[in-house]
Amino acid sequence: MIQEWNAGLYEAKHSFVWQFGRDLLHVLAPQAGERILDVGCGTGRLTAEIACGGAEVVGIDYSPTMISQARDNYPILVFENHDACQMPYLGEFDAVFSNAALHWIQPAEEAAAAMARALKSGGRLVAELGGHGNVQVLVESAYRALRQLGIPEPERYNPWYFPSVGEYATLLERQGLEGTLVAMFDRATPLEGGTAGLKDWFTMFGTKFVEGLAPASHAEFFRLVEGYAEGDLLRQGQWVVDYRRLRIVARKK
């Protein structure tokens, strides 16, 4: 099952994804005249902010619905529908930028190779993705809920790749990308929507976890996950999720 994206839900209830990503734009420091590729651009919010500085930006995403929404949001910008592992670009970008997307893209080695191919010699990669231990409480709660509902080996429904610092630095190095900053940090993230926020989060990002369940069991799955996670993540009526981010700055040799 390929993750299907609801661009409307993303825009309405998950603005934290690009709002937190704004901090990464300071690291990218786009310059007028640069050509920059935004990998996993979603609905184009950060792509547009990169362009505001005068850079020429191309946003790509695997999801046709996300690309359609991005084009509606910013009709003067360029958005293309591509698998990040098979991007057609060869040595044409000064920088590749990616926020909250690379943990979805597998095989990770192929994505790194494609980003390296897209960069000019000396070009830079600036990216942030989920790191080892990201949303661990939610993942373990989902596993427990699936086991209780009779689903064996629930780990097979985990759609994400959350690497360690050493793992991802080594992966980039094999593709000719030298890490100049590879750092892991915790970012407790409040969800929008009050007590309904966790269900909205799973509806947006965790649909693969219910792939093996009959539709009639979905509500019980969410109820169980909330019960297992609330002691760690529910604070005064708001869900605050245990995000852990891996930030990358690398340069093509």
Structure tokens at 172: 């980039």
Q: What percent of the chain has pLDDT over 90?
A: 85
Domain ranges of the chain: 7-252
Q: What is the pLDDT of residue 195?
A: 84
Higher-confidence position of 192 and 69: 69
Phi, psi of 77 (to 5 degrees): -95, 165
**Where do we find the tokens 């990669």?**
125
Return d(Cα 22, Cα 90) in angstroms, integer. 27
Of 75, 69, 174, which Cα lies nearest the Cα of 115? 174
Return d(Cα 106, Cα 26) in angstroms, integer. 27
Of 151, 139, 158, which Cα lies nearest the Cα of 241? 139
Return d(Cα 90, Cα 111) in angstroms, integer. 14
- Tens-digit pLDDT profile for residues 34-46: 999 999 999 999 9
The strand ranges marked E within 131-190 are 177-190
Other beta carbons within 10 Å of 160: 15
Confidence of residue 8 (pLDDT cuts 50, 70, 90): low
Question: Is the torsion defined by CA of 88, 78, 105, 94 positive or negative?
Answer: positive
Return d(Cα 161, Cα 63) in angstroms, integer. 18
CA-based end-to-end distance of the chain: 37
User: What are the residues whose beta carbons fall under 8 Å from the beta carbon of 67, sequence distance 6 or more?
Assistant: 41, 59, 61, 79, 80, 81
Q: What percent of the chain has pLDDT over 70?
A: 92
- Tens-digit pLDDT profile for residues 88-129: 999 999 999 999 999 999 999 999 999 999 999 999 999 999
Q: What is the pLDDT of residue 140?
A: 98
Question: Is the torsion defined by CA of 192, 193, 196, 201 positive or negative?
Answer: negative
Confidence of residue 1 (pLDDT cuts 50, 70, 90): very low
91 and 117 Cβ atoms separated by less than 8 Å: yes
What is the pTM (predicted TM-score) of this model? 0.92
Assigned superfamily of 7-252: Vaccinia Virus protein VP39 (3.40.50.150)
DSSP 92: -
Structure tokens at 158: 């985990």
Return d(Cα 147, Cα 153) in angstroms, integer. 8
Please tell me whether residue 250 adopts helix, strand or coil conformation.
strand
Angle between helices 108-118 and 165-174 (to 10 degrees): 50
Amino acid letter for position 46: L
